[in-house]
Amino acid sequence: MSKKRKKLTEAEQDIYSALLLESDRGCVLAAHGFLDTELERLLREHFWHKSGGTDKELDWLLSGSNAPIKSFYVRTMMARAIGLIDGKSFDSLVNLNDLRNHFAHYPGRVALTEARVRTIYDPLHQILKGYVQYVERSAARRKLRFSAAHIKFIGTAMALHVAIDAATDIAARHDATRGINFDGLEIEKILNQDETDSK
């Protein structure tokens, strides 16, 4: 008999595949964009269940040309203020936003370094180890040469993406305000299963 590692969820696989072959700059910009979309979806779900607002009303609030909750930073602040994300997740997202702004606007060469990624990774490092190890193993199998910082960033972005997705599901079940709960995602169980093969 053999124990097979549980496959990534669809959400995990989507962001992993999208980021895997990006440059450092592209990786940061793409991850930021994906997470921005997830934050909008989280807030939209929450507001709809709380107020029954129409799509037109929620579009005005979240995605219209002059929407007051359109920027990544404001969405992050709002999600934290109403209890949809916890403090550690908030810190990671704010630091990711700062990194994105630097990578998007600085005209010179940019690179993911340990120091830059640490501000995003460290608040959640105990939870994210499984994701980082997964990316390390996958990159090694594909013979891809990534810096440790690049691998750590992809792992962090995957986890944040899945966690926000999980919080959105919670909001959809009228359990909003519980917020992101990484413990419930069983990340270590998903990504660190034994890989022993039978003879």
Query: What spatial distance separates the first Cα and last Cα of the chain, rounded to whole Å?
Result: 8
- Enter the tokens of residue 99: 């990194």
Q: The CATH number of the domain where 146 resides is what?
A: 1.20.120
Nearest residue to 23 (alpha-carbon basis) of 87, 103, 91:
103
Greater model confidence, 110 or 149: 110
In a domain? residue 162? yes
Note down the domain range covering 132: 10-191
Average pLDDT over residues 38-49: 86
C-alpha 172: how far from its chain's center? 19
Closest CA to 146 of 7, 5, 13, 16: 16
Q: Looking at residues 55-76, what average pLDDT do you find?
A: 91
Mean pLDDT of 178-199: 42
Counting Cα atoms < 13 Å in the Cβ hemisphere of 23 gives 7
Q: Does the residue 1 lie in any domain?
A: no
Q: For residue 199, is it within any domain?
A: no
pLDDT at residue 30 greater than cutoff 60: yes
Q: Model confidence over 123-140: pLDDT tens digits? A: 776 667 677 777 888 888
CB 168 within 8 A of CB 41: yes
Residue 36's pLDDT is what?
92
Per the domain annotation, does 90 fall within a domain?
yes
Amino acid sitting at position 50: K
- Residue 54 tokens read as 């129409």
The answer to whether residue 138 sits within a structural domain is yes
Within a domain: 120? yes
Domain count across the chain: 1
**Angle of the 72-81 helix axis to the 87-105 helix axis, nearest 10:** 170
Confirm whether 104 is domain-assigned.
Answer: yes
In a domain, 3, yes or no: no
Q: Which of 37, 32, 5 is nearest to 153 (CA)?
A: 32
